[in-house]
Amino acid sequence: MQTILITGCSSGFGLETAKYFLEREWNVVAAMRTPQDDVLPRSDRLRIVPLDVTDPESVRRAVEAAGPLDAVVNNAGIGAAAPFEVTPMETIRQVFETNTFGTMAVTHAVLPQFRERKAGVVVNVTSSVTLKSLPLVSAYTASKAAVNAFTASMALELAQFGVRAHLVLPGRSPETPFAQNGRTRMQGLDNEAYAELVQGFMGSLTAPGPVTYSKDVAEAVWRAVTDPASPLKIPAGADAIDWARAA
């Protein structure tokens, strides 16, 4: 029976992906910054481990507790939505510490076992905003674009060992509070000069049109993990697929 480690499983895409793999008879190690026992169905194939991807010791302990792995999904991330001019450098560093360096840290910790076994899959969840530029998410987009570039290069390094690396790029989701949380994190930091742009951005979060559902992301991750013919980049959700075609 195969085992997968998924980060950021307390809600949203990570939670849905953990459920998806459990339903398909995988062993799931669900990593959460603050573990919650009641968000996932009870199962003998489920383990919940604490993991703060910005803490090297936490990463080491989580990967050690997970044991032998067949796949890892780096899904944990945070957002920040505000004009770049008023975004504090401290916030920018926090976004990169979680989204970029956190992803790299977990990947760094699992690669030795994948290389030694000559098998394993790394799936990094980034964002479709790396395909189409949007305002107010410059720091977030940069943090995810860095993961895209790092993953593409790493995939070339790992191919000789039979280890694969893929990117899943979700679009806008009405099912998760991610975008709203990113906006809340920046509350009170706006400049009046950007008021109209901010108002338009908030409206776009609930505007009609193609969107991404959590199951779209879970299905994309499943494809990346189980199909060796999967491309490097897999858009997840109707809007992300549209953006990928236009890119």
Hey, where are the domains in the chain? 3-246
Q: CATH 3.40.50.300: does it fit domain 3-246?
A: no
For the segment 55-68, what is each residue's pLDDT rounded down to a tens digit?
Answer: 999 999 999 999 99
For the segment 15-28, what is each residue's pLDDT rounded down to a tens digit?
Answer: 999 999 999 999 99
CA distances from 32 to 12, 61, 95 (A): 12, 13, 17
Task: Provide the pLDDT for residue 133.
Answer: 87
Task: Provide the pLDDT for residue 215.
Answer: 97
CA distance 88 to 36: 31
Bridging pattern class, strands 46-50 and 164-170: unpaired
The residue among 164, 184, 173, 165 whose CA lies nearest residue 211 is 173
Burial of 35 (0-12, 13-18, 19+ CB in 10 A): middle
pTM over 0.95? The answer is: no
The residues annotated as belonging to the active site are 140
For the segment 121-159, what is each residue's pLDDT rounded down to a tens digit?
Answer: 999 999 999 999 889 999 999 999 999 999 999 999 999
For the segment 153-208, what is each residue's pLDDT rounded down to a tens digit?
Answer: 999 999 999 999 999 999 998 866 555 555 565 565 666 788 888 787 777 777 78
Residue 116 pLDDT greater than 70, yes or no: yes
Task: Provide the pLDDT for residue 109.
Answer: 98
Task: Provide the pLDDT for residue 182.
Answer: 54
Hunting for tokens 């879970």 — which residue is that?
A: 218
Burial of 114 (0-12, 13-18, 19+ CB in 10 A): buried
